[in-house]
Amino acid sequence: MVAVPDSHSLALFAAAALALLLIPGPAVLYIVAQSAEHGRLAGIVSVAGVHLGTLVHVAAATVGLSALIVSSAVAFSVVKYAGAAYLVYLGIRRLLAREPAELLPARDEPLSGLFVQGVVVNVLNPKTALFFLAFLPQFLDPERTVWTQVVVLGLAFVALGFVTDGLYALAAGSLARWLRERGRVLRYASGSVFVGLGVSAALAKRS
């Protein structure tokens, strides 16, 4: 019989996860920036990409790769700086865009590109690996099969995250037209968000 968390542990995990997910973090800021700039559909696509990246971390935590990244200074640094460089690159590219007015509605944006960006941003975020290692064990029963419990809790976290981040995307997308009319402000604001996220990722510590 497959070992899954009991209902009490699952309810506690869901409550704790919701409390954490509702506090804006790097992923939320990324999603809000994309949704505000390109519209709600782009925001939802970014949410899907981010949480596919989360599924990669769930799989990694299940097989112990996250523990390897955290325990190895070299592996952690490679992931950390790769993710930081990618975010800074996105931010600088946005800041240097020549025509703020070229921001287009979501239907004209390459949604596949936004989806891939979301995946890369979260896969290369070592804080996500640290989160699962620090958070999930509190809700696991060591006397039962651990990996199945990790999978169930990880999938629950992804589902809750998709809902909460989707709400952020819809809210930000509602302001998209107003913000597009102020293209220069949006360009500098969103570019600064990406650069700030990159700096934050670069400063992440293994502890």
- For the segment 67-78, what is each residue's pLDDT rounded down to a tens digit? 776 677 787 677
Pair 126, 83: CB distance under 8 Å: yes
Q: Is 190 exposed, middle or buried (0-12, 13-18, 19+ CB in 10 A)?
A: buried
Over residues 155-181, the mean pLDDT reads: 84
Pair 55, 90: CB distance under 8 Å: no
Q: Within a 13 Å sphere around the CA of 165, how many CA atoms are in the beta-carbon half?
A: 33
In which band, very low, low, confident or very high, does the pLDDT at 103 lie, cut at 50, 70 and 90? very low
Comparison of pLDDT for 176 and 157, the residue scoring more: 157
Residue 194 has pLDDT above 90, yes or no: no
Task: Confirm whether 48 is domain-assigned.
Answer: yes
Over residues 166-176, the mean pLDDT reads: 86
In angstroms, the CA 66 to CA 44 distance is: 27
Task: Confirm whether 91 is domain-assigned.
Answer: yes
Pair 173, 90: CB distance under 8 Å: no
Q: How many domains does the chain have?
A: 1
Over residues 70-99, the mean pLDDT reads: 75
Residue 147 has pLDDT above 50, yes or no: yes
In angstroms, the CA 110 to CA 44 distance is: 13
In angstroms, the CA 39 to CA 173 distance is: 5
Task: Confirm whether 64 is domain-assigned.
Answer: yes
In angstroms, the CA 50 to CA 52 distance is: 6
In angstroms, the CA 120 to CA 95 distance is: 20
Residues 6+ positions from 91 with CB-CB distance below 8 Å:
190, 191, 192, 193, 194, 195, 196, 197, 198
Comparison of pLDDT for 13 and 37, the residue scoring more: 13
Q: Where are the alpha helices (DSSP H) in 22-110?
A: 26-38, 40-63, 65-71, 73-95
Task: Confirm whether 2 is domain-assigned.
Answer: no
Pair 129, 70: CB distance under 8 Å: yes
Report the phi/psi class of residue 64: left, alpha or beta, with left for phi > 0 and alpha for psi in -120 to 50: left
**Dihedral of the alpha carbons of 159, 164, 166, 171, in degrees to the nearest 10:** 170
Over residues 130-158, the mean pLDDT reads: 82
Domain interval for residue 161: 7-12+26-202
* Block residue for tokens 């934050």: 200
Comparison of pLDDT for 66 and 91, the residue scoring more: 91
Residue 201 has pLDDT above 70, yes or no: no
Task: Confirm whether 207 is domain-assigned.
Answer: no
Q: What is the largest CA-CA distance in the chain?
A: 60
Task: Confirm whether 47 is domain-assigned.
Answer: yes
Task: Confirm whether 18 is domain-assigned.
Answer: no
Task: Confirm whether 137 is domain-assigned.
Answer: yes
